[in-house]
Amino acid sequence: MRARSALRVSMFSVSLLALTPSIAYAQSAVAAEDDAQSKDDEIVVTGTNASRSAQNTPLSIALVDEADLRTFTGSGSQADLLQQLPGLKTEGGGGEVATNFRVRGLPSGGQFEFTPINYDGVTVLSAFGLNSSAFDFFARNDLGIERLEFVKGGVSNLFGVSSTAGIINYISKTGTDTPHGTFQLEVAEDNRYRGDFAYQGPLSENTYMAVSGFYRYDEGPIDTGIPTEGFALRGNIKHEFADGSGSFALYGSYINDRANFYLPVPLDGTTRKRVNGNDGKTVFTTNSSAVDGIRVNTPEGATEFRAGDGFQTEGGSIYAVFDKEFGDGWKINSKLKWSDYQSASNFFSNGIGPAAPETQAQFLARVAPTATLSQAVFTDVETGAVLPSNYILYANAFNDRQRPTSDATMEVNLIKSFDTGSLNHTVTLGGFMSRAEADNNQRTVQYLGQFNNNPTLVNLAINGQQYTVNGIIQAPSAYTQETRSAFKRAIYLADQIEADRWTLDFGARVERATIENRIEVTASRAGTLATNAVAGAPINTMTFGTGTFRSGKASTTAWAFAVGGLYKLTDNVNLYANASAGYFFPQAQGTNGQLNSANRDIVFFEPEPVNQVEAGVKVRSGAFRGYAAAFYTGLRKRTSVSFVGANLTPSLLLTESDTFGIELDGNYQPTDYLTVSGNFTYQDAKFMGDSPTSINGKRPDRLPKMLANVGAQVSTNGFDASVFWNHQSKTFQDASNNVPLFAYSIWRAEAGYTFDSLGAENKLRFSVGVWNLLNSQGLAEGNPRAGAIQTGGTGAYFNARPILPRRITAKLTFDF
């Protein structure tokens, strides 16, 4: 607790130090902001220690500048922005956090498993799979972001935290000599309100500050009766050395936020459209505010299920970045980070039983087959009224999961630049170390509800005896008390070579990882919910910890190699290729079932090899820039972890896969007023090798063959407008390819007008945007947590998670 308090003080100190002195300084300064560099001239700093433009780097790169970032800031999840980038499939149907994320060529996973999120080259979390919390739990974007760089493959994956498939890196704004800032207010349908700000300026000579943040309240886009609400602050102080040899920067962030999370809901079994509940209204979610605050007695005392907390994160990070040139081509770069979060992922499952939702007769036949309908009385817990016989029931579970997480990382790079003949070398010898720890403490309550949007709870009595108590079927029906940690240390060496017409990259990395698991053994105990209970009813039992723990520890070492080359065929055309042999460490949560109770060791923990090859052409000519590439990705010895059933029991699947594909990306700006952009990815992925026979030759689940984006932006005389189209082709819910999820497209549009008559440097912009313009009801996710229940994809109901419905947003943005 003291460490967390100290961290909180440190983070606020960075923000306040950054803000307070500069306000006085700004009173005598004239606000101004230099125009941003064009995308063609942006220097790529992610995963490279040799300054290069995207055109001259032997990798496929996506860049998003501040102007485009603003289109998506405040609008929702990471999915809203990242789905515009080539080769990325993102699913935002779950809400603002826990974005399902897949990068081209790599099956399974999601939630940034293969491609971590970085801010300023520092990873949000250094180890994935300590629990199932996604990286975007711990950070939100705001107006303090200068640009986004997404770099795939090659030597870039060797540095720092490393990555299997690429690096997502958000670059923060830092202060300038001229103070300037932005305020933004946002209002949207369904009672959404958000305020953003960002401010940058000098503190003193050669020392600068930047601070940004937001507050957001939201009752939509799907009404659960529990709002999404919270705020976040980020700030940095940067000192540039007077001799121009480098800089030292200190960054801090703090977040206190909670967000709703939506899982699959029952849809019409034929049309796969949303259906009406018992009250005649459309069912958008089966999340229930009636569960919030339910209390039951357990061996550890009264346990409260906090549905109102949703996906909650409180805490933050503080990190330092040091760059220094020492002369004669020597340079050192170092990053040090500490983060600590109190995190909870409290969310509802998506139905219990093979026919959820179900009739009263179906429910009774499943839970008490010897009873008859005439012996059963179903009543609404809130009103006490007996349910009409035609009312549908929805048995479900709520998972209260507390997940405190801490992470420390350190990176040191020694860089030497020198010439050998006509070749310029930038050699990096670096080291990385991280220590991450996270808990997964879960209590699950099963309950019976009506089939409505935000349903009320239902009691069942059979022959006057209780089968449920205040709607509760069983509590806890599942119990988990786990602590996992990951300790990583790596050394890497790379040479980035520049010649007149050639660019060559070579590198290697060796990394050792150690994981430790500590898991409490559970057992069935006598329940305490009811004294007048039906014999054999679940309320007579509970699952709880025994006080006995199993533990395990394992270490493994992996190597990665990368090579890349680029040849300048003409002044406008570059040919490039890269290849890498990398690895991914199995998730610690996937080794639970492999704990050997005899010797307390983890039986299996080996790297998962990932081999990638890419070759293509980059073109920059006049108003056009873009690339075309072919690629291959091979994944071996893959241990995929999923969570099945109401109690979210871990399920492991061992697979291998190959993917061949092509990718196109282009941007065309024929005039200062019009920009047209687009990208297209085709990937043919199949399970093969040692994958189970039942899925060999099948397509990986939720990995589309085709991804496409097209966008157009117009700006003239203060008016601007943009439209974006995102398309994702047909996928399958499951690895056996039994349940198809049809292709869908999402349109979004925005239009605004900028008033620039408020002073030389002041601008006021009013805009209106529409997400999911055509209100498409495509299915972002099937029912992966149901296991084999929905194997045929047929029946009265089809359980799946649609994309979020249409939403209109208005923004007022003031730059000063």
Query: Per-residue pLDDT tens for 615-660?
Result: 999 999 999 999 999 999 999 988 777 666 666 666 677 889 999 9
Asked if residues 133 and 535 have their Cβ atoms less than 8 Å apart, the reply is no
Question: For residue 496, which amino acid is it?
Answer: Q
| CA dist., res. 733 & res. 27, Å (int) | 58
For 768-810, the pLDDT digits (tens) are: 999 999 999 888 888 776 655 555 555 788 888 999 999 999 9
> How far is the CA of 442 from the CAs of 259, 541, 545, 551, 782, in angstroms?
18, 17, 11, 18, 24
**What is the model's pLDDT at position 16?**
37
Q: State the pLDDT at residue 25.
A: 31
What are the DSSP E strand ranges found in 260-305?
A: 265-268, 294-298, 301-305
* Element at 363 (helix H, strand E): helix 360-367
How confident is residue 698, by pLDDT bands cut at 50, 70 and 90? very high
**Residue of 339, 335, 145, 117 lying closest to 234 (CA atoms):** 145
Q: Which range has the worst mean pLDDT, 313-322, 408-417, 428-437, 748-757?
A: 748-757
Q: Which CATH number fits domain 2-815: 2.60.120.10, 2.40.170.20, 2.40.50.140, 3.40.50.150?
A: 2.40.170.20
> Do 604 and 596 meet the contact criterion of CB atoms below 8 Å apart?
no
Cα 783 to Cα 217: distance, rounded to the nearest angstrom: 29
- Integer angstrom CA distances of residue 757 from 200, 764, 765: 23, 9, 11
Q: Residue 70: what pLDDT? A: 84
The mean pLDDT of 311-319, rounded to a whole number, is 96
Please state, as a whole number, how many other Cβ atoms lie within 10 Å of the Cβ of residue 102: 28
This prediction has a pTM of 0.90
Quote the pLDDT of residue 439.
Answer: 95
pLDDT at 404 over 90: yes
User: Cα–Cα distances in Å, from 332 out to 120, 328, 412, 416, 815?
Assistant: 16, 12, 7, 9, 36
pLDDT in tens, 552-611: 899 999 999 999 999 999 999 999 999 999 998 888 887 776 776 665 667 678 899 999
Which among 104, 172, 90, 184 is positioned nearest to 135, based on CA atoms?
90
Answer for the pair 159, 494: CB distance below 8 angstroms, yes or no: yes
Tens of pLDDT, residue by residue over 432-443, are 999 999 999 999
Residue 301: what pLDDT? 87
- Whole-number mean pLDDT of the chain? 87
**Which of these ranges, 105-119, 735-749, 758-772, has the smallest mean pLDDT?**
105-119
Q: Measured between alpha carbons, how far is residue 183 from residues 28, 558, 747 in Å?
A: 20, 47, 27
Q: Is the model's pLDDT at 105 over the cut of 70?
A: yes
CA distance 514 to 159: 19
